[in-house]
Amino acid sequence: GDAGGWSWAVAGPGVTTLSEGWKGPTLPDAAVPAGFSSGHFVVDLAAESALVPGGAYTLTLSSVGGGFAQSTFSLGYPPSGGVCAASPSRGFALIDPFTLRCEGWGGDNLPLYYSFGVSRDGWDSASALWTASHSSSSSTIYLQKGIFFVAAKVTDHAGLVSHSTATVLFVNASQVDTNSSNYTYSVGEEEDRVLASVDKALGNQVFLGSTPNLLQVGGAILEDLAVNTDIPLPGGGRRLLASGAAYRMRVRRLLSSKMVQMTSSATPSPPPPPPPP
């Protein structure tokens, strides 16, 4: 029949009468992507909604002709009982890896999947950069200098989601490797020193064959280029890179070469030629 002649309604904890459909806290459209009048009804359990974990609900399909059909469903509980934390809490930009790890999580609908988010200068789940969901409960990231907040999103097989509390990470600029108290260096040497750290961080991920981590490190580097190109000086103060545009180009070329290297290593080698007759 015509989808325009159908209407869906839900009744149960957190919602009201069938005739009025879904009521309660504000419901984002993402929670019911097909709406209440299409030919099918979809609930996105990963989206915020008025449904109550553990609640039993009645779903009713009505037609303009007066017919109706009903079905019931129960909502499970989201993952719980676990913790997520990051270590170490302090480190140096692009040198020290930070490991995000979740432990002790359980749920009604296994398996569980984990995604890790990073937000600069304060935790904001909506604007955080999230890794793709994966069965691994840990992830290793490299960060540029700054203060970052990291947290995990734990999703079960049914789509129910729990968020961990955020952990703050303090990332310092890489230190100058010298024992001389009156050591001075040129802008070019500063660039080379920073680029060496970038090259090492990217190279580690290429060696491990970790495309997601390579993208994460590359994203952190490009984000930092957009913020500033100044470098801390020994004894305090900062110096703006005189060749900022050239430095940015060198970093982008380095990142591009690592991506090509990763792609080449992931491409299967052609089969060897047949032996001579």
Q: Which residue has the higher pLDDT, 195 or 131?
A: 131
Cα–Cα distance list, 214 to 133, 137, 143, 220, 248 (Å): 16, 19, 12, 10, 18
Distance from the Cα of residue 241 to its chain's centroid: 31
Residue with the two structure tokens 């500033």: 228
pLDDT the model gives residue 237: 42
Q: Which residue has the higher pLDDT, 105 or 58?
A: 105
**What pTM was estimated for this model as a whole?**
0.64
DSSP string across 4-66: GGEEEEEESTT---GGG-S-SS---GGGSTT-SSSSS----TTS--SPPTT-EEEEEEEETTS
Quote the CA–CA distance of 152 and 131 in Å, as a whole number.
9
- Characterise 159 by phi-psi region: left (phi > 0), alpha (psi -120 to 50), beta (else): left
- 173, two tokens: 């600029």
pLDDT the model gives residue 149: 96
pLDDT at 101 over 50: yes
pLDDT at 273 over 60: no
pLDDT at 246 over 80: no
pLDDT at 276 over 80: no
The domain locations on the chain are 1-23+40-75, 78-177+203-208
Average pLDDT over residues 172-196: 58
Lowest-pLDDT choice from 28-37, 69-78, 158-167: 28-37
Residue with the two structure tokens 């103060």: 237
Quote the CA–CA distance of 224 and 218 in Å, as a whole number.
10
Quote the CA–CA distance of 74 and 141 in Å, as a whole number.
38
pLDDT the model gives residue 81: 95
Please report which helix (H) or strand (E) contains residue 120, including its range: strand 113-120
Q: Which residue has the higher pLDDT, 57 or 18?
A: 57
pLDDT the model gives residue 91: 93
* Average predicted confidence (pLDDT) for the chain: 76
For residues 56 and 49, the answer to whether their CB atoms sit within 8 Å is no
157-166 residues labelled b (16+ CB within 10 A) or e (exposed): eeebbbbbeb
Q: What angle do CA 180, 186, 188 make, to 5 degrees?
A: 130
Average pLDDT over residues 42-66: 82
pLDDT digits (tens, 9 = 90+) for 141-168: 888 889 999 999 999 998 889 999 999 9
Quote the CA–CA distance of 111 and 100 in Å, as a whole number.
19
Q: Which residue has the higher pLDDT, 63 or 192?
A: 63
Quote the CA–CA distance of 216 and 203 in Å, as a whole number.
13
Quote the CA–CA distance of 200 and 184 in Å, as a whole number.
24
Pairing mode of beta strands 167-172, 90-92:
parallel
> How sure is the predictor about 183, in pLDDT bands with cuts at 50, 70 and 90?
very low
Q: Which residue has the higher pLDDT, 183 or 52?
A: 52
pLDDT the model gives residue 24: 45
pLDDT digits (tens, 9 = 90+) for 128-139: 989 889 999 999
Q: Please, what CATH class does the domain formed by 78-177+203-208 belong to? A: mainly beta
pLDDT at 19 over 50: no
pLDDT the model gives residue 99: 94
Percent of the chain with pLDDT over 70: 70
